[in-house]
Structure 1
Amino acid sequence: MSNAALGLTMLGLIVVVIMMGFPTAFTLMGLGMVFGFFAFYDPSKAWLDNHVFDLMVQRTFGAMTNETLLSIPLFVLMGYVMERGALVDKMFYSVQLAFRRLPGSLAVATLIICTFWGIASGLVGAVVVLMGVIAMRPMLNAGYDTRLAAGVITAGGTLGILIPPSVMIIVYAAVAGQSVVKLYAAAMFPGFFLAFLYLLYVIGWALIQPKVAPKLPPEQQRAPITPAVAHIAAGYSQRMLPALVAAVFAPGRALAAGAQGVRVGWFTLLRFLGSALVPLLLAAVTLGAIWWYVTIYSQQGSDNPSPPAAEQVAPGAAGSAVTLAEPKAEGLQEPPSEGGLQEPPGAGAQESSSGGVQEPPGAEAAPPSSSEGLQQLGEPVAAPHAEPVPGAFYTGFWLTCAVVLALLVVYYWKMDPEQFEILRLLVSSVMPLGVLTLVVLGVILFGITTATESAAVGAAGAFLMAWQAKTLNFQRIKEAVFLTAKTTAMVCWLFVGSALFSAVFALLGGQSIIEQWVLSMNLSPLQFLMLSQAIIFVLGWPLEWTEIIVIFIPIFLPLLTHFQIDPLLFGVLVFVNLQAAFLSPPVAMSAFYLKGVSPPHVTINQIFAGMMPYMLIVILCMVFMYVWPSLTLWLPKYLYGG
């Protein structure tokens, strides 16, 4: 059997063995060792002198020194601390009250909580299980269709692995040698756009067929009004903002005992007023941050701009920087040893005929220097790319300010005691998570910190949130740390196995054969993109996203340059496509997560039926991304240039 045939046999065996249930990481290493032994075999030497053992050490060392992977345990710890801290119940209740007038309000609240909780945790299984426990029975008890309830939980739970900060994006960046920061920026809008499409589908189905999502009884749509709030409203006004302002400056009636003997202290009045002003403050901070960034921060150093922080790439990518248009496919890097690695007989002729064996990016042995690789911790971060402020920005900005101000006036005019109670619930439950998420993403995208440092901020913020909610104890902390170590070890062993597997696969000529086969088809860029995404979509049925990224994505990466496909666009298309890996039978892990916590009468076929429409929505989102590339590429190009 020729070396190329051995390589293709190796690729086919990995799918078969994984589907048989063997651990992915050790299957990759085992096949890499076995086939690598034959690739390096020299009858004149003892079998212990085979260079595949050197290659194994080299790949393990490369994974251990890959700084991109440092952020994974911190983001995973952040997710597990939030999961163990049981912070979702109150959040779901408050969001459901806030959207109680929308069709399918329980399903809408479930989708919103799945989205933002998934962003914070990045753990699909944890989000699906938590929302299955919290939201599944209330939806079924309210008469919701089982398919609607199951589909919204399973589809919404997968969004956390797509929208930054996402472990999947970090894994892809390390494999492909791309910038984590640019990938975060590129995945931001498509992730929220996919969530928006899910939301439109849920509301549209509830409008067309109201029986699938009956309206809740009036008693379940009312928020309880506390005696203190009722006392202030009775003493001043039913419009809560003027009432609270008057109570703060003239607290006599609030301090006096009411009909039920209720008194409201001055500090309580200040706290209530602060809660009422949160929407105004959030709008002011958001608009002010946009103005500051566009007109001040991004213009610093316009005459002599520094290289953007996001241009620094993950270890494993050769060269000083990876541009937005051209990923670099480096040749196989052989482990250092006396005399170097010896190619198997006939490999030299094969290489000369095919133009050299090309190895997928991200499998290099030695980590790059600090000037080439990911920004080292403690190094100053360069300012993002500066562009002249267009004149249309000022018109659009002030128009947006006027619209936001009008909406705030209408909101505060209609704020009665019940609306104020809902706002208080949202402020106490949703706002801490929202602020933490914005901080974690903001410091990355604005170039203030590296992804690893922002992950540390997120983990610390998760501990503070759980501590403030008084739901975290030593036992739960221990469980979170243990699960973090377990997940991180799995990812790191996957990288070791993937690096060894891809190196041997390229050495045997498998990569070259696939490249020649694809190029011989004379595909257009669109046809190649459709073919590659279709293959990934089909692979999502039997395999999980980790296996697809570390095994099969490196096969496509060297071909992007030939077809002139932007690696950022290709990567985000892969991220969106891999949502289907969680929603497609037979290995639809989201379905099995939900089945484990659902009532006994909910069948796995009903869950599968509920997930199917969301797979079509994923495909629709990918079509939008191809037709409208700015959905993916505008933010990284604006922030970092290129």
Structure 2
Amino acid sequence: MTEPQIALFMLGLFIFLVFLGFPIAFTLMAMGIGFGYYAYFDADRMWRSFNRLDEMASSWDSFSLWIEGFFNNRIFDLFINQTYTVMSNEVLTAVPLFLFMGYVVERANIVDRLFTTLNIASKNVPGSLGVAALITCALFATATGIVGAVVTLMGLLALPAMLKARYDPSFASGIICAGGTLGILIPPSIMLIVYAAASGTSIVRLYAGALVPGLILVGLYLTYVIGRSLLQPSVAPKPKEGEVPDMPTGQLILLLITSFLPLAFLILAVLGSILFGLATPTEAAAIGALGGMLLAVAYRALTFQRLRESVYLTVRTTAMVCWLFVGSYVFSAVFSYLGGESVISEFVSGLNLTPLQFLLLAQLIIFLLGWPLEWSEIIIIFVPIFLPLLEIFGIDPLFFGILVALNLQTSFLTPPMAMSAYYLKGIAPPEVRLTQIFAGILPFLAMVFISMAIVYIFPQAVYGLPELFYGR
């Protein structure tokens, strides 16, 4: 086999092992080191060490020299250097801080108060519970960026309330599953931080570029919820007299100030400090982490147990992301050294695709990868394969990144591998069937595709804010 063929075999074997269920980070590292040992093998370098074995007086010295000869391969230097590069990456420093902010907010009972307040405030809006749940999901998903946490918590909080209000189970489930994925796109998104580290794109410009598409998607979701509630009142009946308490305007405003404004202010302060250049993403994330703790203290919800859980979950998730990066960097370096990247580049160039056709093909591949893989694995492992091709087709990595962020919403919403549906099913009442959740998700999946089409047709939706804030 030629080296490019070995590179393609390496990629195919990795995909096969992933489908078998092997841990992805360690599979990447093992395959990178294994194939890298072959790629960087220098027989003369190794045998120079082995030829000294006869000079050794003891068997232990001989064994030590044999080990030295075996490890005398540049792949081990590459692995150490890539590990150091990832762990010292300033962009990735923001990941644990944003995660910690989200986990603290999740455990501070802020979302419970927020949902109750929004439900009372929107009681005259068609599908008021659904609107309240969707807005709460958007704010909470923005604060945490952790899909499983948002869907699970909102499933425990909002789904029983909607079912009690006689909402159609499918409709209610779709709202929670779709709302829970918004944190992937809307800043301060952890996914965009990871993409920035993988692609070398400015995280500040990515945040600015993602804001309008994120609001478009939220607007489409709200339009669908309100529109369907008007056209088909049976899926979201109006609340009966006394189901939602009447509240004087002054008391309602006070409730909004104490429940909605603190979380909204925290998010806007973090995002605004980044967009207006007042702080780097890492500094803003640190402010957000401190703000999350202060909110928890203000709501009298910060206990040692909750703080310990937040720290543990933050460390676990951060370690997963960082080791995925290490494995991906080693794997991609060996893959490129063997000529795999050149083969793919020449193959795609030979298809004579237009930039639009390439974008559609790339998004289709990412859409399909979203079935078996998490967004972190797609961004860290597979998106870098497309990045060298962007220059060939004249595509801005910023625009490509926002499209990928939109597309990754579908990885949680596409049956039969819709992870948000399984998160919700795990905590939903027994009478809510998985098929009902899948049916409720599909209209929101259509909204994602519509938002992607809008971005394709009107790219200024991505470029508008970055150009306004930072120029071309």
TM bucket by the smaller chain? Answer: over 0.9
Looking at structure 1, the residues matched to 328 and 445 of structure 2 have their Cα atoms a distance apart, in angstroms, of 28
Looking at structure 2, the residues matched to 506 and 99 of structure 1 have their Cα atoms a distance apart, in angstroms, of 55
Question: 1:209 aligned to 232, 244, 248, which one?
Answer: 232
Asked whether the equivalents of residues 543 and 587 of structure 1 are also in contact (C-alpha less than 8 Å), the reply is: no
Asked whether the equivalents of residues 93 and 282 of structure 2 are also in contact (C-alpha less than 8 Å), the reply is: yes
Looking at structure 2, the residues matched to 62 and 435 of structure 1 have their Cα atoms a distance apart, in angstroms, of 35
2:273 corresponds to 1:443: yes
Asked whether the equivalents of residues 506 and 512 of structure 1 are also in contact (C-alpha less than 8 Å), the reply is: yes
Q: Which residue of 1 aligns with 2:50?
A: none
State the SS of the aligned residue for 2:126.
Answer: coil
Question: 2:381 aligned to 522, 537, 551, which one?
Answer: 551
2:168 corresponds to 1:148: no
Q: Output aligned runs, 1:87-486, within 5 Å.
A: 87-224=110-247, 418-486=248-316
Looking at structure 2, the residues matched to 143 and 206 of structure 1 have their Cα atoms a distance apart, in angstroms, of 13
Q: Could you tell me how far 1:194 is from its partner in structure 2?
A: 0.5
2:100 corresponds to 1:80: no
Q: Output aligned runs, 1:18-29, within 5 Å.
A: 18-29=18-29
Q: Percent identity?
A: 53
Amino acid in the other structure paired with 1:205 = R
Asked whether the equivalents of residues 95 and 109 of structure 1 are also in contact (C-alpha less than 8 Å), the reply is: yes
Q: Which residue of 2 aligns with 1:560?
A: 390
State the SS of the aligned residue for 1:611.
Answer: helix
Looking at structure 1, the residues matched to 362 and 198 of structure 2 have their Cα atoms a distance apart, in angstroms, of 17
- Residues 322-370 of structure 1: CA deviation (Å, up to 9, x unaligned): xxxxxxxxxxxxxxxxxxxxxxxxxxxxxxxxxxxxxxxxxxxxxxxxx
Distance change in 2, residues 1:223/1:19 (3 Å) = farther
Q: Could you tell me how far 1:421 is from its partner in structure 2?
A: 2.0
Asked whether the equivalents of residues 181 and 412 of structure 2 are also in contact (C-alpha less than 8 Å), the reply is: yes
Q: Which residue of 1 aligns with 2:332?
A: 502
Asked whether the equivalents of residues 184 and 408 of structure 2 are also in contact (C-alpha less than 8 Å), the reply is: no
User: For structure 1, which runs of at least 5 residues remain unmatched after alignment?
Assistant: 225-417
Looking at structure 2, the residues matched to 15 and 110 of structure 1 have their Cα atoms a distance apart, in angstroms, of 37
Question: 2:441 aligned to 611, 629, 642, which one?
Answer: 611
Looking at structure 2, the residues matched to 85 and 488 of structure 1 have their Cα atoms a distance apart, in angstroms, of 21
Q: Could you tell me how far 1:117 is from its partner in structure 2?
A: 1.1
2:86 corresponds to 1:63: yes
Q: Could you tell me how far 1:571 is from its partner in structure 2?
A: 0.6
Q: Which residue of 2 aligns with 1:270?
A: none
Looking at structure 1, the residues matched to 126 and 20 of structure 2 have their Cα atoms a distance apart, in angstroms, of 44
Looking at structure 1, the residues matched to 230 and 42 of structure 2 have their Cα atoms a distance apart, in angstroms, of 71
State the SS of the aligned residue for 1:622.
Answer: helix
Looking at structure 1, the residues matched to 435 and 38 of structure 2 have their Cα atoms a distance apart, in angstroms, of 46
Looking at structure 1, the residues matched to 109 and 121 of structure 2 have their Cα atoms a distance apart, in angstroms, of 21
Asked whether the equivalents of residues 542 and 586 of structure 1 are also in contact (C-alpha less than 8 Å), the reply is: no
Q: Could you tell me how far 1:611 is from its partner in structure 2?
A: 1.2
Looking at structure 1, the residues matched to 391 and 454 of structure 2 have their Cα atoms a distance apart, in angstroms, of 23
- Residues 161-217 of structure 1: CA deviation (Å, up to 9, x unaligned): 210101100000000011111101000111111011111111111112111111111
State the SS of the aligned residue for 1:219.
Answer: coil
Q: Output aligned runs, 1:580-595, within 5 Å.
A: 580-595=410-425
Looking at structure 2, the residues matched to 136 and 221 of structure 1 have their Cα atoms a distance apart, in angstroms, of 16
Amino acid in the other structure paired with 2:6 = L
- Residues 549-580 of structure 1: CA deviation (Å, up to 9, x unaligned): 11111111111112111211111000000011
Q: Could you tell me how far 1:606 is from its partner in structure 2?
A: 1.5
Question: 2:353 aligned to 505, 523, 531, which one?
Answer: 523
2:36 corresponds to 1:36: yes
Amino acid in the other structure paired with 1:497 = G
State the SS of the aligned residue for 1:489.
Answer: helix
Asked whether the equivalents of residues 371 and 418 of structure 2 are also in contact (C-alpha less than 8 Å), the reply is: yes
Greater share of helix: 2
- Residues 110-165 of structure 1: CA deviation (Å, up to 9, x unaligned): 00000011111221111111100000011111111111111100100000121010
Amino acid in the other structure paired with 1:6 = I
Q: Could you tell me how far 1:443 is from its partner in structure 2?
A: 0.6
Distance change in 2, residues 1:37/1:586 (3 Å) = farther
Q: Could you tell me how far 1:43 is from its partner in structure 2?
A: 3.5
Highest Rg: 1 or 2?
1
- Residues 462-507 of structure 1: CA deviation (Å, up to 9, x unaligned): 0111100001111110110111111111111011011001101111
Looking at structure 1, the residues matched to 250 and 103 of structure 2 have their Cα atoms a distance apart, in angstroms, of 32
Q: Could you tell me how far 1:47 is from its partner in structure 2?
A: 3.3
Amino acid in the other structure paired with 2:5 = A
Q: Could you tell me how far 1:438 is from its partner in structure 2?
A: 0.9
Asked whether the equivalents of residues 525 and 565 of structure 1 are also in contact (C-alpha less than 8 Å), the reply is: yes
Q: Which residue of 2 aligns with 1:313?
A: none
In angstroms, what is the RMSD of aligned CA positions? Answer: 1.1
Distance change in 2, residues 1:424/1:223 (3 Å) = farther
Amino acid in the other structure paired with 2:220 = L
- Residues 379-425 of structure 1: CA deviation (Å, up to 9, x unaligned): xxxxxxxxxxxxxxxxxxxxxxxxxxxxxxxxxxxxxxx22222221
Q: Could you tell me how far 1:220 is from its partner in structure 2?
A: 1.9
Q: Which residue of 2 aligns with 1:536?
A: 366
Looking at structure 2, the residues matched to 544 and 486 of structure 1 have their Cα atoms a distance apart, in angstroms, of 16
Q: Could you tell me how far 1:19 is from its partner in structure 2?
A: 2.2
State the SS of the aligned residue for 1:49.
Answer: coil
State the TM-score, normalized to the length of structure 1.
0.69
State the SS of the aligned residue for 1:88.
Answer: helix
Q: Which residue of 1 aligns with 2:462?
A: 632
Q: Which residue of 2 aligns with 1:622?
A: 452
State the SS of the aligned residue for 2:448.
Answer: helix
State the TM-score, normalized to the length of structure 2.
0.93
Question: 2:401 aligned to 543, 568, 571, which one?
Answer: 571
State the SS of the aligned residue for 2:405.
Answer: helix
Looking at structure 2, the residues matched to 13 and 548 of structure 1 have their Cα atoms a distance apart, in angstroms, of 17
Q: Which residue of 2 aligns with 1:13?
A: 13
Asked whether the equivalents of residues 183 and 568 of structure 1 are also in contact (C-alpha less than 8 Å), the reply is: yes
**Matched residues, number:** 449
Q: Could you tell me how far 1:622 is from its partner in structure 2?
A: 0.6
Asked whether the equivalents of residues 115 and 159 of structure 1 are also in contact (C-alpha less than 8 Å), the reply is: yes
Q: Which residue of 2 aligns with 1:375?
A: none
State the SS of the aligned residue for 1:543.
Answer: coil
Looking at structure 1, the residues matched to 184 and 106 of structure 2 have their Cα atoms a distance apart, in angstroms, of 15
Looking at structure 2, the residues matched to 13 and 609 of structure 1 have their Cα atoms a distance apart, in angstroms, of 35
Q: Could you tell me how far 1:446 is from its partner in structure 2?
A: 0.3
Amino acid in the other structure paired with 2:29 = M
Looking at structure 2, the residues matched to 37 and 160 of structure 1 have their Cα atoms a distance apart, in angstroms, of 40
State the SS of the aligned residue for 1:617.
Answer: helix
Q: Could you tell me how far 1:617 is from its partner in structure 2?
A: 1.2
State the SS of the aligned residue for 1:148.
Answer: helix
